[in-house]
Amino acid sequence: MRTLFKRVAIAFLILLMPGSPVLAQSILRDAETEHFIRQLSDPLLKAAGLTPSSVHLYLLHDNSINAFVAGGQNIFIHSGLILAADDVDELQGVLAHEICHIACGHGIRTQEAYANAGTASVLSMVLGAAAILAGGADAGMGIMMAGQSVAQGQFLAYSRGQESEADVNGAKYLQAVGISPTGMIRFFDKLRDQEILAQVRQDPYVRTHPLNRTRIMQLQEIAEKSPYYQTPPNAARNEEFLRLKAKLAGYLYEPRQTLRKYPLSDKSVAAHYARVYAYHKALEWDLALEEADALIQAEPDNPYFYEIKGQILFENGKVQDSLPVLQKAVALAPQEALIATAYGQAMVSLEDEAQMAKAIPILEDATRRDPENTFAWFNLAKAYAWTGKDAQASLATAERFFSGGSPSQAAMHAERAMKGFKEGTPEWLRAQDIMVISQAAAERQRRRR
């Protein structure tokens, strides 16, 4: 079944990514990581006078060090940046700096660049491109493709004046939430060594956020005035950060590399976590399950440990065994749409009518919380179709193409859905909205070509 999902998803990728594959980048989706980054960013966004829910954060699968703002209120963070940060304050320092680039209006240059590139809607570019899921939730992490607009965003350099403003205001936001600005300085200082390298060898962050000695000195001066200058990173939050770093490393690095960094002698939760992913990647299912069980034993109420165990069982073809484990994960974290999606996917994959009916409310809930989750829409449409709810299946498919940035397919399925619902019902109105918006978007696409 998984192969089929993969094949379907890959087919869409090819359809929807006609541009240069060099510029294509994938977005990592992981419930725990997204939840954690939001915990770090939301207080800073509030301190900057922004509404957290209107700012989107995306984790890009890229081992170089970078973080950037694209298409207005979207922050993109490279996995390489998280792996390069030594503690949570360094990551939060970079976030504070990036948040000023939004709050201080530095995005205008970006918008101009988009206009110059001849694109119609900045928002539809970023969101449309960001929502195509490839292969579903892979061991608790999903991958989506990000489009050219995102790739462009990371090449737009800020001016020195803007950089300095972002440092000053970033430090202010950190102070408002009681965090020492020294993490920000430590992180930038690490990158300063790269200034002397040839451009091709520099990490993109160094090229787009010009660093110099004056900047670091200015930051140091501000930092010393902070009442939290000497405050170390919050211990619990830092532990969570180190776990996520281990999880990311296990997911992204070669298994041998991960096992060298997190040897068996290391019995910390972070090390177990890294090894779950390393063994999973090496197709050592039994060892991966052993590590997952060690995690559950250490923290029997941690939803993410059940999530990974359930995913391993599911991907190993033990779908029935995966169900109670994923159910437990959902029960422990009912707000996490990505975990609910994994549970729904497992139920749908059994191709059994009773399971399909059970999967529907779970996937409906997941799409309500995470409407950009094309994979949840895909599974929901399948469950509807199996249970004879054809109009709902068409509407879910329309939603899937709508959030995936394929307006002509979205319009076609929305039109089909409208025929199945009574005029004026919420479903009918939603289908009509999708149809009207998507037809206009499809028309714009045609004219651009």
> Are 255 and 285 within 8 A, CB to CB?
no
**Shortest Å, Cβ 296 to Zn ion:** 41
Q: Which of the ranges 116-124, 206-214, 247-255, 417-425 carries the binding residues for Zn ion, by CB under 5 A?
A: 206-214
Closer residue to Zn ion in complex, CB, 166/363: 166
Cβ proximity to Zn ion: between 162 and 379 the closer is 162
Q: Using CB under 5 A, pick the residue from 57, 166, 244, 276 that binds Zn ion.
A: 166
Q: What is the rounded distance in angstroms from the CA atom of residue 258 to the CA atom of residue 138?
A: 18
Candidates 211, 232, 101, 222; CA nearest to 172 is: 222
**CB nearer to Zn ion: pick between 190 and 261:** 190
- Compute the least distance from the CB of residue 110 to Zn ion, in Å: 12
CA–CA gap between residue 379 and residue 342 (Å, rounded): 10
The SS3 of residue 23 is coil
347 near Zn ion (CB under 5 A): no
With a CB cutoff of 8 Å and minimum separation 6, the contacts of 130 are 27, 58, 74, 144, 146, 147, 150, 372
Interaction between residue 209 and Zn ion (CB under 5 A)? yes
Nearer of residues 156 and 342 to Zn ion, judged by Cβ: 156
Nearer to Zn ion, 150 or 326 (CB): 150
Q: Helix axis angle, 182-192 relative to 213-225, nearest 10°?
A: 170
Question: Which of 77, 103, 75, 234 is closest to 170 using CA atoms?
Answer: 103
The full length of the chain comes to 449
Q: Which range touches Zn ion (CB under 5 A), out of 145-153, 209-217, 377-385, 388-396?
A: 209-217
Secondary structure (3-state) at 27:
strand
Alpha-carbon Rg for the chain, nearest whole angstrom, is 23
CB under 5 A: which stretch of 124-132, 150-158, 199-207, 322-330 binds Zn ion?
150-158
Site mask, Zn ion, residues 379-408, x = CB under 5 A? ------------------------------
Phi and psi (nearest 5°) for 372?
-90, 0
Which residue's CB is nearer to Zn ion, number 47 or number 366? 47
C-beta of residue 97 within 8 angstroms of C-beta of residue 167: yes
**CA pair distance 73, 100, nearest whole angstrom:** 11
Which among 48-56, 127-135, 160-168, 275-283 is the span making contact with Zn ion, rule CB under 5 A?
160-168
- Least separation in angstroms between residue 68's CB and Zn ion is 8
Find the part of the chain contacting Zn ion (CB under 5 A) among 31-39, 120-128, 151-159, 342-350.
151-159
Tell me the per-residue interface mask from 58 to 87 with Zn ion, x by CB under 5 A, - otherwise.
Answer: ------------------------------
Q: CB-wise, 9 or 219, nearer to Zn ion?
A: 219
> What are the angstrom distances between the C-alpha of 424 and each of 78, 225, 431?
44, 60, 10
Told to check if 106 binds Zn ion by CB under 5 A, we report no
- Burial of 251-269, coded b for 16+ CB within 10 Å and e otherwise, reads bbbebeebbeebeeeeeeb
Report helix, strand or coil for 67: strand
Where does 333-425 have alpha helices with state H? 337-349, 353-369, 374-386, 390-403, 407-420
* 60 within 8 A of 81, measured Cβ to Cβ: no
Q: Alpha-carbon distance 280 to 61, whole Å?
A: 18
* Residue at shortest CB range from Zn ion: 209
Choice between 158 and 305, CB closer to Zn ion: 158
**Long-range contacts, stretch 425-429, CB < 8 angstroms, 24+ apart:** 427/391, 427/392, 427/395
3-state secondary structure of 78: strand
| Least gap, CB of 275 to Zn ion (angstroms) | 36
Judged by CB under 5 A, the stretch of 142-150, 162-170, 355-363, 379-387 that binds Zn ion is 162-170
Which range, of 37-45, 155-163, 195-203, 392-400, touches Zn ion by CB under 5 A?
155-163
Nearest distance, CB of residue 270 and Zn ion, angstroms: 30
> Residues binding Zn ion: what is the number (CB under 5 A)?
4
209 vs 243 by CB, closer to Zn ion: 209
Nearer to Zn ion, 30 or 163 (CB): 163
Distance in Å, CB of 102 to Zn ion, minimum: 11
Taking contact as CB under 5 A, which single stretch among the options 11-19, 38-46, 202-210, 348-356 is the one that binds Zn ion?
202-210
> Whose CA is closest to 127, among 446, 447, 373, 397?
373
Cα-based angle 242, 63, 213 (whole degrees, multiple of 5)? 85
Closer CB to Zn ion, 220 or 425, in the complex = 220
Cβ proximity to Zn ion, 158 vs 279, nearer residue: 158
Residues that bind Zn ion (CB under 5 A): 158, 163, 166, 209
